[in-house]
Amino acid sequence: MTQTQTAIEQSFARPLTTLSEDEQMFRDSVREFAEGEIRKRVEQMDEQGYLEPALMKQCFDLGLMGIETPEEFGGAGGSFFQAILAVEELSRVDASVGVFVDVQNTLVNNAIFKWANPQQKKRYLTQLAAEKVGAYALSEAGSGSDAFAMQTRAVDNGDHFVLNGRKLWITNGKEAEIFVLFANANPEAGYRGITAFIVEKSFEGFTVGKKENKLGIRASSTTELILEDCKVPTENVLGEVGKGYKTSIETLNEGRIGIGAQMIGIARGALESSLRYTTERQQFGKSINEFQGVQFQLADMATELEAARLMVYNAARMKDAGQNFVKEAAMAKLYSSRAAEKITSKAIELYGGYGYVKDYPVEKYWRDSKIGSIYEGTSNMQLQTIAKLIIKN
């Protein structure tokens, strides 16, 4: 590693809010893992569209799959902010690994920890911390932004529910063994019939369907789920019957901060790559970052990143402090996804023709950034949330 490279990475690794000693050590350990184990596998995983099993196991071994999970359930007993730091550091190297860890922590673990009964927590949080991947199954083909229009049905048969329907765009769908899945148990009641279930991959009538061939985050699996008379024990209802809409809304508010962390990680990776390249690239007898036009572009990218990072960190700190963070989470996701797309696009331009080919890293950062404005609430949905809250206040 050159002196220039080291200086660049240290500059953008500096926290924008004060970190405790434990947080600093945690962040550094995640970064060491990302650099030492993930980076060398990124290109192959992206090309082949899979997440290497050895990396998934290491994520468990390092405690990254249960960061907030209490120690009594085998987790690390950390904070939400630590989970955000982990997603950022992983996404700086590979956004696919970043979202793999993000979904487990900010969606699946959070939903179960907040809404499960003691028996469910003991059974499922322990498995999710140790060895089993989780997924969050809300979206359907005709139910995206309008999540409450879901068509998956759940019929109460006494000691079990029978679920029928299909889920779409499920992150971690291929690897997951435990699913937080939503179905409507009382369609006549509208969204008040929506119920959350903990569904195991081994349950009768449950099948993982097509794996999508995506533009970006290609190593992250995105699949459909097929439920054909899927039998789910009554004790696997998560929370109360008919209160699943509340579970989904509150969990996604936290998940949006995680996506914000993924986006700032992507943007950091692209900016650091651009700074190294513009230092090394010679034109007209000098490095191209000695030209003012290039300097101004780099300065603009750095400013966008810093603003996005502050917003994501602030929302995460508010969540840990028990404050209302809904507006801040929406703003952080909206702004960070826009910043990531802008920064990665500019990085390609700074690389010139080299930026457009797969031999260099920035085209992948751009491809990975695009999903930020789509999943866990589109940019339009974030704008709607923000508008309602600022008008209400």
Enumerate domains of the chain plus CATH numbers: 13-133 (1.10.540.10), 135-242 (2.40.110.10), 246-392 (1.20.140.10)
| CA count, 13 A, side-chain hemisphere, 235 | 7
pLDDT of residue 13: 56
pLDDT of residue 378: 96
Query: Could you confirm whether 376 is annotated as catalytic?
Result: yes
pLDDT of residue 105: 98
Active-site residue, selected from the candidate residues 68, 272, 304, 376: 376
Query: Rounded to an integer, what distance in angstroms lies between the CA atom of residue 350 and that of residue 276?
Result: 11
- Beta-bridge partners for 222: 171
pLDDT of residue 18: 74
Are 150 and 180 spatial neighbours (Cβ–Cβ below 8 Å)? no
pLDDT of residue 11: 59
Phi/psi region, residue 377 (left: phi>0; alpha: psi -120 to 50; beta: rest), is left
Give the distance between the most distant pair of CA atoms in the chain: 79
The beta strands (E) that lie in the chain are given as 134-137, 153-156, 160-171, 178-184, 194-200, 206-211, 222-233, 237-238, 282-283, 286-287
Task: Tell me the chain's radius of gyration from C-alpha atoms.
Answer: 21
Are 140 and 272 spatial neighbours (Cβ–Cβ below 8 Å)? no
Token pair, residue 55, equals 């990396």
Residue type at 375 in one-letter notation: Y
pLDDT of residue 14: 57
pTM (two decimals) = 0.95
Query: Rounded to an integer, what distance in angstroms lies between the CA atom of residue 265 and that of residue 369?
Result: 10
pLDDT tens, per residue, the chain with 393 residues = 566 666 666 655 555 557 889 999 999 999 999 999 999 999 999 999 999 999 999 999 999 999 999 999 999 999 999 999 999 999 999 999 999 999 999 999 999 999 999 999 999 999 999 999 999 999 999 998 888 899 999 999 999 999 999 999 999 999 999 999 999 999 999 999 999 999 999 999 999 999 999 999 999 999 999 999 999 999 999 999 999 999 999 999 999 999 999 999 999 999 999 999 999 999 999 999 999 999 999 999 999 999 999 999 999 999 999 999 999 999 999 999 999 999 999 999 999 999 999 999 999 999 999 999 999 999 999 999 999 999 987
